[in-house]
Amino acid sequence: MRIIHLFVIAALVFAAAYVYRIKMESTARTERVLRLNAEIREQRDAIAGLRAEWARLGAPLRLQGLADRHLPLKPLVATQYDSLKNLPERPPRFFKPGDPDPIGAMLETIDAAADAATVTGSVPAREDQR
């Protein structure tokens, strides 16, 4: 009988230790959740403050005052625009309409040179690379 009593007492001690460990883990997790909630609240307060500052800095009346104070802008006059007939002539073309595009031809030449197996530098090409 005594062995059974010792076994039951050991099982009860083990169960109590296990329950205590679970309680401590849940307490630690609860504290972590509370800390995270506090950090989230602080970040939201900081975001709200930054949004308020952004709204204050971007207020149209403030920007208008800054523009009036720092920019030498004058009101628009309708006569300051010119008509299309007074635009300068179109610049001359450097190639004929049927000819290939000169910039495209340069790019094709560069691509062809890059594709060729050429050796650069002072080392002569080996026979197997020619």
- Ramachandran class of 121: left when φ > 0, alpha when ψ lies in -120 to 50, beta otherwise: left
Euclidean distance between CA atoms 128 and 130, whole angstroms: 6
Tens digits of per-residue pLDDT, 79-102?
Answer: 778 788 888 888 877 777 777 777
What single string gives the DSSP state of each residue in 88-105?
PPPPPPSS-TTSPPHHHH
* Domain range summary for the chain, segments of one domain joined by +: 2-70, 79-116
Euclidean distance between CA atoms 77 and 96, whole angstroms: 42
Tens digits of per-residue pLDDT, 32-69?
Answer: 999 999 999 999 999 999 999 999 999 999 999 998 88
Tens digits of per-residue pLDDT, 18-29?
Answer: 999 999 999 999
The 8-class DSSP code of residue 24 comes to H
